[in-house]
Amino acid sequence: MGFIRHSFKRRLFFIILSVTLVLVIFGGILTIQGFQARIRADHEKEDREQEIAIGDKVDDILKISESVLDKISESDALKKALTPGPKNDLDTYSALYEVTADIRDYAVVDLYLGGNSKFSTRRGVVSEDLPTNYAVLREADKAEGETVYAMDPYDATEDGATMIIARKITGVGAKGYAVIRITQTELRRILAGSFNARDGFMLTDKYFRPFCLMGTAESKNNLSVIRKNLFKNDLYNKDIEENVYISEVGDSGLISIYITPPAFEKSAVHAGYQIVLMQVVISVLLCLLVASRLSTSFAKPINTLTVAMKQFRKGDFDTKIDLNREDEFGQLASGFNKMTARLKDTMRERVEAERKVNEARIELMQAQLNPHFLYNTLDTIKWVAKANQVPEVATLSSSLATILRTGISENQFCMLESELDLVRNYCDIQKIRFDDCFDLEVDVADSIAKAYVPKLILQPLVENSIIHGLEGRSDGRIKITADRIFAEKENGESTLVITVTDNGKGISDEMIKLIETDDPEALKGHLGLKNVNTIIRLYYGSEYGVSAKRTDTGTEMTVRLPFSTETPVKEREITP
């Protein structure tokens, strides 16, 4: 995939080729399969119609035979011929030929008394007698006037058999039977021309023993497979490539089997897929050509843009792109030109701002001369006070010197323990000033005290508690605590929460709202809180800073900032 990703032309070719191949391959396959399904459906419809037509022709033969048997059963002359007593053979044959006129062209009709053949339409040959336990006569005897169908065992082979249609004639003294014989030759003659030469037809009994096999069914292969499948309780057409349609012929119990070749030969299907393969090859070649042309059209403006960006990275802010195009590339070139012009102006403004910052730093360094002089003077006062045994003056000068030294330090961050030491020094000064009217308690674990914080963020909060919260109290108490709160984030970030509480009169609702507004101008009259809030949010973001609430015993000020025990590499860039 890296080989493709590293070239725009290859990526374009791959995309076009993928879309084309999906459309060609799936479209071709769906087209072929849809065409096959449609042709198969039409072919099956035609086969069903042809099967019904052949079945109707066979059914017509059987219905005519049934009608002849009905006429024989109802003929008084024929019934009389099968009863004991004198008979007129001329009348009998006249009646027999009359009722069998519709089937004599393809069938022979015999009248039996018991197992003896008495009368027959057979010409020149006398029908043989049949034993009374002969299968068809036995079944006809049990059927009591119903028609039975059977094979003639004396004229049956693997290729077919003579069909026997028999019925017992009731109303005669002895057992009389009417038997119709239709040879397989006659069946073939009747059904000839009913189906295509590529088709096959079988007429069998309920045990799939054939009366006649015609067309492609003469090979008997399919009949053998059908028997085997039915014996195994499988689908009857399993392992047969041809289309096989099986149906019963009326109520006779006979089975019609119609066989047709598949709608598509394998060679035709293979030819269709070969056409799809040729389309795939042609599509690949076309994709190569189109991708080459498109990539050249796209690559030219991209190359121009690439060259311009390289010049821009080298510091040439006067680089411009001239593309006489109104499409997205033209818009991109116009955007690049506007960007370079804007960056050029920004760089010029930034240089000017840095010049002003440098001037301000020089002024700040000059202004620090006085604090340094003041610090040295305080140090001298401290030693003079100690020499003259005035501890309060020594404490004041020492604590003030420590605070002053921290304030003029170039380091913008310090450990929390250093910040707490500064607060202790500040409170030492204020205790002397306010005659020990409050106590300071610090409860911070050593592991948390190693966290780095911006310097001078706690002293303004403590000052606020002393000046505003504990005013007029002689038993004031200020407590500083710190905890590390772990957030439910994958990066494992945690928050340092520093709390300054007092037992003073409590902060006002108005002041709480001013702190929550996140508006530095709103805290303009409270310089300490304003500076602390501004510094924290400029360094860490608006989700950190100072919050306040009134408790039952006084005020609770909370500072939130990221927990880190690593020394900041550099100060965070502060932007207004």
Q: In this predicted model, what pLDDT tens digit does every residue of 141-155 receive, in sequence order?
A: 888 788 999 988 888
pLDDT > 90: what percent of the chain?
A: 20
Q: CB–CB of 358/351 below 8 Å?
A: no
Please check whether residue 391 is in contact with residue 385, taking contact to mean a CB–CB distance below 8 angstroms: yes
pLDDT digits (tens, 9 = 90+) for 295-306: 677 667 777 777
Task: Quick: pLDDT tens for 504-547.
Answer: 888 888 888 888 776 656 565 565 677 788 788 877 888 898 99
CATH value at residue 499: 3.30.565.10
For residue 40, pLDDT over 90 is answered with no
Q: Which residue has the tokens 């505003």?
A: 468
Q: Is residue 231 in some structural domain? A: yes
Residue 306 or 384, more confident: 306
Query: Within a domain: residue 570?
Result: no
Q: Which of 38-47, 336-345, 440-449 has the highest mean pLDDT?
A: 440-449
- Name the 3-class secondary structure at 342: helix
pLDDT over 60 at 369, yes or no? no
Residue 454 lies in a domain: yes
For residue 68, the model assigns a pLDDT of 93
State pLDDT tens for residues 109-164.
999 887 788 888 887 655 677 776 677 888 888 887 889 999 888 888 888 899 99
Residue 299 lies in a domain: no
Q: Would you place residue 80 in the very low, low, confident or very high pLDDT band (cuts 50, 70, 90)?
A: confident
Query: What does the pLDDT read at residue 251?
Result: 86
pTM of the predicted structure, to 2 decimals: 0.47
Q: What is the CATH number of the domain that holds 256?
A: 3.30.450.20
Per-residue model confidence as pLDDT tens digits over 217-243 = 888 888 888 888 888 888 888 888 888
Residue 470 lies in a domain: yes
What interhelical angle do 266-313 and 328-367 show, nearest 10? Answer: 40
Last residue of a domain, one of 201, 228, 260: 260
Q: What is the band of 558 on the pLDDT scale with cuts at 50, 70, 90? A: very high
Domain-terminating residue out of 233, 260, 287: 260
pLDDT per residue over 336-349, tens digit each? 788 888 887 887 87
Domain end (from 227, 260, 293): 260
What domain count does the chain have?
2
Distance, CA of 211 to CA of 229 (rounded, Å): 20
pLDDT in tens, 265-312: 666 667 777 777 787 778 777 777 777 777 677 667 777 777 777 887
Residue 30 lies in domain: 11-16+18-260
Q: How confident is the model at residue 394 (pLDDT cuts 50, 70, 90)?
A: low
pLDDT value at position 124?
62
Kindly report the backbone phi and psi dihedral angles of residue 151, in degrees, each rounded to the nearest multiple of 5, phi listed first. -95, 150
State residue 434's pLDDT score: 81
Q: In terms of Cα–Cα distance, which of 518, 572, 505 is closest to 546? A: 518
Q: Is residue 127 part of a domain?
A: yes
**CA 477 – CA 443 distance, rounded (Å):** 13
- C-alpha–C-alpha distance, residues 64 and 100, integer Å: 9
pLDDT of residue 567: 79
Q: Is the C-alpha dihedral spanning 158, 162, 163, 166 positive or negative?
A: negative
By C-alpha distance, which of 153, 164, 30, 62 is closest to 108? 164
For residue 312, being part of any structural domain is answered with no
At residue 375 the predicted structure's pLDDT band, cuts being 50, 70 and 90, is low
Mean pLDDT of 458-479: 87
pLDDT reading at 372 higher than 60: no
| Assigned domain for 208 exists | yes
Cβ neighbors of 212 (< 8 A, separation 6 or more) are 160, 184, 187, 188, 191, 201, 202, 203
Is the CA virtual torsion 279, 282, 284, 287 positive or negative?
negative
